[in-house]
Structure 1
Amino acid sequence: MHFDRKDYSNETLLHLYQGLLKPRLIEEKMLILLRQGKVSKWFSGIGQEAISVGSTLALEPDEYILPLHRNLGVFTGRNIPLDRLFAQWQGKNTGFTKGRDRSFHFGTNEHHIVGMISHLGPQLAVADGIALADKLEERPKVTLTYSGDGGASEGDFHEALNVAAVWQLPVIFMIENNGYGLSTPSNEQFRFKQFIDKGPAYGMQAIQVDGNNVLEVYDTVRRLAEGLRRNPRPVLIEALTFRMRGHEEASGTKYVPQEMFTEWAQRDPVENYEKWLMQEGVLDEEARLRFRETIKREIEEGLRIADATPMPTADVALELADMYAPVGELRGESIEPRAQETDAVAVSPLNSQFAILNSSLSTTTDKRYVDAISDGLRQSMERYPELVLMGQDIADYGGVFKVTDGFVGQFGKGRVRNTPLCESAIVGAGLGLSIKGKKSMVEMQFADFVTCGFNQIVNNLAKSHYRWGQNADVVVRMPTGAGSAAGPFHSQSNEAWFTHTPGLKVVFPSNPVDAKGLICAAIEDPNPVMFFEHKLLYRSLTAPVPDAYYTTPIGKAALVREGDEMSIITYGAGVHWATALADELGLSADILDLRTLLPWDEEAVRKTVEKNGRVIILHEDTLVGGLGGEIAAWIAEHCFEHLDAPVQRVASLDTAVPFAPPLEKVFLPQQRLRQTVEKLRNY
């Protein structure tokens, strides 16, 4: 192994040595503790320390790094107190996740580190978002993110590199090529010879380094980072290395030929660098022993403090509260609809009855549902200069539904960004923007396409605050719903996928007034919000909407009509189906518009159930697993003594959404709603 010191001082060389030695000695101690049952699981980075140490020490302390399992050197290189690291691994409160996650599955903004989730690939896109925030603010900073050779097979790898290249983001993608993805060798992972072959295909520079040579890694990253700060762009570094332990200790290493261990043991990054330093006279035996004893004392002291810390005691209220970031005082004046039939706004073909309650916002303009959303987005962009809009075709084209038409002229392409077709990367970038204090709105061209970003939403955005206190200030807009003969992939009502996910908020306005107020509230909210917009309402529904900025409260239902025969609990287009049927049948019914599906308004549901005793829960989503089942179960548990009849659910057929209009008409629940109303009337 050849070490080229160039013009680096002895102090720098010894700093790198200390950086290498600390994670190695910690790992040796952890392997002992693992055998003693004092650590539950361990992913060893022995043999790979030079990559994380060299790259971390090459960056400025306030530049973000996104590490993986085998990057202990990132955490020690950022001088995280060892007692906190050990407490994290033991599941103690003094760690970084309050015992809620293990290993390196945490972040710390204090040390500018964003830890991984088990899915390996998603953090690459988060790095894009961090770098985008720096680029928008013209901060000369670099973001470094790691991927293993196995994890690079995931689609997130492709998406993140593609976005970084298209947007010219200052991201260093460090590929730790150790030859195996758990037990699967490289020749069963990919057919190309080396990762640097990928760089030119993405339009980025690619460099290969000896990942066991700490000085080569340090010098390469330091030099590249200096260039990227001046001229933002992404770079791929392939670091060739080998792990001397199993993927994790329980998996063993029987699948690796013994001769590979023999070969790579001779290239040990710590031993070779130490030997070279001694040959060069930079390190002597006395100093070598002193460094080791100092680090070992630090390890023992850290363990003493961590061991003395008790395991966490579960506090249910705290566990529930920490799923969401606290919502501060909303900036916009709040308005709500009230149940009122006089002065109603009759709209064909869908009817909606509501009146604006707050007279201080009396200046209104007739707006379609789609225009109300656009108005709310525009005013939010004006109020929040940190807000960035991202989505396919949303810039000059204005989006397929023209919600952002004209926004580029007012706010520029920096804040209104066309994206490649890569939903996962863009949602992940939204989390990265949040880490740097920005807000983002991500438009799914159709709600159906959210499946391509599902992992980022349910495992990264939704869990981030609970895991390590980092909110995800991201609104995902979801044009949804059937009725336009668009078939199985442009018509789904998929809100129940997300109402099952703690950490998300799910909103579904039924009218223009709420559409504007709720989009403004969603953007103000520091938590991830799934914002559903029924496509059929976009241009078929018009109402007087306040011109001023305002918010509609998330989590609060609206009683849009009062009656005493029964209660219809619904949302979205269901509000209009129920209202139209009530008019046709002369039905006196409470029609409760949930508006927010997570968290849904339990008190409003309780009130209408206790009043009428007969309940229909209506939604366009399919029946099995739909939100109606959850609400019906809750009513049975909490309001049973007030019921005069079984709770009825009305929903779409449990099929995919058909294309042909006659089939789609049967799929949708309107006819079954009529039958159920008559059944409940006669019960």
Structure 2
Amino acid sequence: MPKQQLLDPVEIRKPQMLEIAPIPVNQYNKSIEEEKENFSKNDFVRIFRDMVIIREFETMLNLIKTTGEYLGYPYNHPGPAHLSIGQEASAVGMAYLLDSDDYIFGSHRSHGEILAKGLSSIHKMNDKELMEVMEEYFGGEILRIVQKDFKGDTKSLAQRFLIYGTLAEIFARETGINKGLGGSMHAFFTPFGIYPNNAIVGGSGDISVGAALYKKVNRKPGIVVANIGDASLGCGPVWEGMVFATMDQFHTLWEDDMKGGLPIIFNIMNNQYGMGGQTSGETMGYNIAARVGAALNSDNMHAERVDGYNPLAVIDAYRRKMEIIQQKRGPVFLDVLTYRFSGHSPSDASSYRSKEEVESWQKIDSIVTYGEELMNAELASRTDLNKIKKDAENLVLWATKLSTDDSVSPRMDLVKSNELIGEMMFSNGSVDKMEDRTPEVNHPMEENSRVKQISKKERYAFDADGKPFSALKQYQYRDGLFEAMVDRFYKDPTLIAYGEENRDWGGAFAVYRGLTEALPYHRLFNSPISEGAIIGTAIGYGMCGGRVVPEIMYCDFLGRSGDEVFNQLPKWQAMSGNIIKMPVVVRVSVGSKYGAQHSQDWSSLVAHIPGIKVVFPATPYDAKGLLNAALQGTDPVIFFESQRIYGIGEEFQKGGVPEEYYEIPLGEPDIKREGSDLTILSIGATLYKAREAADILQSKYGISVELIDARTLVPFNYEPVIESVKKTGRILLTSDANERGSYLKDLAQNITELCFDDLDAPPVVVGSRNWIIPAHELEDFYFPQAEWVLDAVHEKIVPLKGHKVTNDFSDEKKIWRAARGI
């Protein structure tokens, strides 16, 4: 909503006709003779070699899956193998011009792309660079295996490293390029610019855009290629990723050298099928996928269809499209026409297509036809080509035997150390800044108007007489968040933040007010209303080495980014074998007053997913300290904030919120009030309802409550809670999440097991009702209130003399509600 861009009704309402520029389809028509000015004889032959290596590699996998052996060598591989046999020219053409500074992302069918990009990078790197990569990667573990008994040059050694490391990864060996934790559908090798393949169809569609954003914002060399299938054009992450990538603001609002498009090519590996669905003629309506580019921007995303059965045609397209990106006119949409001979997977009998169709494509097999062109052009003899095929066969057979030899290539020993995978879930790093350079800001921090305003506020809510300062004078919850954010913006040059209404509005809830003036556009900007892409791009940005804070305006909108939050963000650190870090802090605002789709607390859903740290502070002191800690870390964090308390002052920390920087370690609950008769453990904004109940219990019934704020859901240190329960013998747990399946239940179960001998009564959970959330006027009947806590204590823990129950917590009522699903 930049004010400088006037929406003039006179201009906008003028009648006009949109004219869409022609989109080229299969226009390449050069002969090898004509291409000799662009390629040497060795280049022509190397293209053939790379195609053959990929074909042999996948032929081996297909035979092992379907017959249990390869060239007489038996092996049983129960895992996945989505093969791209037939698509080799597309992969090699895509990778030919790319080097290790260029990043590719893939799909579940990306073995060929991994090998093509790896072989291309090996060709372009010098021997010293290659040896450094191999020696440093996992301490040289893979190198020592492939170096044994090898007598050859460094590039040949690197090819063995690539083939063996990839195959060992597919076979789940600890000596694989990702310790066997990525496998066939998630393998990657970042030193060669090979970033994650993705088992979720279209999953790379927005993550790759984040990688391009990282390159642009941090001025890194190279481009990004999103290798995704034609069927993925029906997937949300792809569309949202392309919408994000084509934002006008890159050209209209970003300034100086930041002006211009993202350096990304959406490379559609168009094999014309999505599993058994034929994309052209059945499951899609575009007929030719390149048409999609016209929907995204006035440049048609420079869309083009290219014959992916001719590697030279693909290379020609890349040469032209990379020049467009060099001119900052990206992104680019490339429809690479190809065909897979193999089924969706080896178990696929291809019942959805005819034998005649498959045979018609096999007749023009790109390896055969390209080889014939080489011979016709006298660039290679049949003997030469047969030798290449034999060498590829020997290389793949060697790698197959070595990668399946348990004595050389063992699997991760989870018997000896059953926490090995668990230890890889988080990196637990502590890093001030992801790069050592000066952050780009518009003025010194001390000159910022918001910083000046906050400096005059009372950092503790009460005066010396215990009277509260006015709301305007109090340092608020949102101020704590702001101080953590502004500190990191001035500390970490890679930090960016974005989401809906992040810039000119100062964030929907005024947390970022003051940052618009402090930061250039490329560090704080508004995104499309595309929650999937907001998180997906942040994942790509983070895994490439930048720190990022995406914002989800309402917790309820997490569902729109479900795959990114539940399936992508938590997994890549561990699936990389801890090579990748993920310094992504997702700010999520938990709503109130706006009913069933804007007021839900979904913290329990997120806490259920391994690989995410989950934070939910309830005070300004905790908000600042925990956000500082999250921003100092290298792990993905979902940082929940309740809209009910953005304006609340610091009411617990008597020294007030420190002006200086401090961190609160994630995972440590905090005793807000000491007591001796009952422990109440709260999550989020219910801390204040719990305190209200504690006051009544003390004043009216003489029950002393120890009040504990969880502050963090994952990780969580039970020790303070155990010690409290040992003292009180009773515990009640409460939060705004609806009760069924809530994290409170998990806490209660663990507390029961850990404190069984100390408990005088079972732990009691007081959560929200298992309903839709009603209008604001009825919210007190949905969210836990102080009276609910009193009722639960009375019915489940200890009778309160003279207390009249208004909310039924009896066993009979619990059974009645459960039977009705409410």
TM-score normalised over the length of structure 1? 0.92
CA distance in 1, matches of 2:712, 2:356: 61
Q: Among residues 224, 228, 253, which one is paired with 1:147 in the alignment? A: 228
Indicate conservation of the 8 Å contact 2:262/2:328, yes or no.
Answer: no
Partner of 1:397: 505
Distance 1:642 1:487, change over 3 A: same
Compute the displacement of 1:595 (Å): 0.4
Partner of 1:39: 77
Partner of 1:229: 326
Letter in 1 for 2:775: F
Partner of 2:622: 514
Compute the displacement of 1:481 (Å): 4.1
1:375-454 matches, within 5 Å, as 375-454=483-562
Compute the displacement of 1:234 (Å): 0.5
Letter in 1 for 2:573: H
Partner of 2:719: 603
Compute the displacement of 1:139 (Å): 3.0
| Partner SS state of residue 108, structure 2 | coil
Partner of 1:65: 104
Identity score, percent: 27
What is the aligned length? Answer: 657
Distance 1:619 1:111, change over 3 A: same
Letter in 2 for 1:179: Q
TM-score normalised over the length of structure 2? 0.77
Letter in 2 for 1:569: L
Compute the displacement of 1:14 (Å): 1.2
CA distance in 2, matches of 1:346, 1:173: 60
Runs of 4+ in 1 over 6 A off after TM superposition: 341-346
Indicate conservation of the 8 Å contact 1:148/1:176, yes or no.
Answer: yes
Partner of 1:23: 54
| Partner SS state of residue 498, structure 2 | strand
Letter in 1 for 2:696: E
The structure that is strand-richer by fraction is: 1
Distance 1:284 1:329, change over 3 A: closer
Q: Among residues 276, 283, 292, which one is paired with 1:189 in the alignment? A: 283
Indicate conservation of the 8 Å contact 2:170/2:187, yes or no.
Answer: no
Compute the displacement of 1:538 (Å): 0.7
Residues 1:672 and 2:788 aligned together: yes
1:128-277 matches, within 5 Å, as 128-166=209-247, 167=250, 168-186=261-279, 187-203=281-297, 204-277=301-374
Partner of 1:682: 799
Compute the displacement of 1:232 (Å): 4.6
Indicate conservation of the 8 Å contact 1:245/1:252, yes or no.
Answer: no
Structure 1 residues without counterparts, runs of 5 or longer: 332-340, 351-364
Compute the displacement of 1:29 (Å): 2.0
Q: Residues 211-241 of structure 1: CA distance to partner in whole angstroms, max 9, x if unpaired?
A: 1111101121122113312325100001111
Q: Among residues 551, 567, 592, which one is paired with 2:679 in the alignment? A: 567
CA distance in 1, matches of 2:617, 2:727: 25
Indicate conservation of the 8 Å contact 2:733/2:744, yes or no.
Answer: yes
Letter in 2 for 1:61: S
Q: Among residues 412, 428, 432, which one is paired with 1:326 in the alignment? A: 428
Compute the displacement of 1:518 (Å): 0.9
Partner of 2:749: 633
1:432-581 matches, within 5 Å, as 432-468=540-576, 469=578, 470-482=580-592, 485-542=593-650, 544-581=656-693
CA distance in 2, matches of 1:426, 1:231: 22
CA distance in 2, matches of 1:317, 1:636: 24
Indicate conservation of the 8 Å contact 1:174/1:236, yes or no.
Answer: yes
| Partner SS state of residue 60, structure 2 | helix
Compute the displacement of 1:348 (Å): 9.2
Indicate conservation of the 8 Å contact 1:330/1:521, yes or no.
Answer: no
Q: Residues 591-626 of structure 1: CA distance to partner in whole angstroms, max 9, x if unpaired?
A: 011100111221111111111101101111111111
Indicate conservation of the 8 Å contact 1:430/1:473, yes or no.
Answer: no
Structure 2 residues without counterparts, runs of 5 or longer: 1-27, 69-74, 120-160, 251-260, 434-461, 801-822
Partner of 1:297: 394
Distance 1:622 1:538, change over 3 A: same
Name the Cα RMSD after superposition: 2.1
Indicate conservation of the 8 Å contact 2:583/2:633, yes or no.
Answer: yes
Compute the displacement of 1:61 (Å): 2.5
Residues 1:126 and 2:207 aligned together: yes
Indicate conservation of the 8 Å contact 2:108/2:199, yes or no.
Answer: no
Indicate conservation of the 8 Å contact 1:347/1:541, yes or no.
Answer: no
Greater mean alpha carbon deviation, residues 409-418 or residues 306-315:
306-315
| Partner SS state of residue 671, structure 2 | strand
Indicate conservation of the 8 Å contact 2:302/2:332, yes or no.
Answer: yes
Higher relative contact order (CA 8 A, sep 6+): 1
Greater mean alpha carbon deviation, residues 541-550 or residues 463-472:
541-550
| Partner SS state of residue 32, structure 1 | helix
CA distance in 1, matches of 2:207, 2:544: 11
Letter in 2 for 1:202: L
Indicate conservation of the 8 Å contact 2:622/2:664, yes or no.
Answer: yes
Residues 1:368 and 2:476 aligned together: yes
Compute the displacement of 1:85 (Å): 1.5
Compute the displacement of 1:343 (Å): 7.3
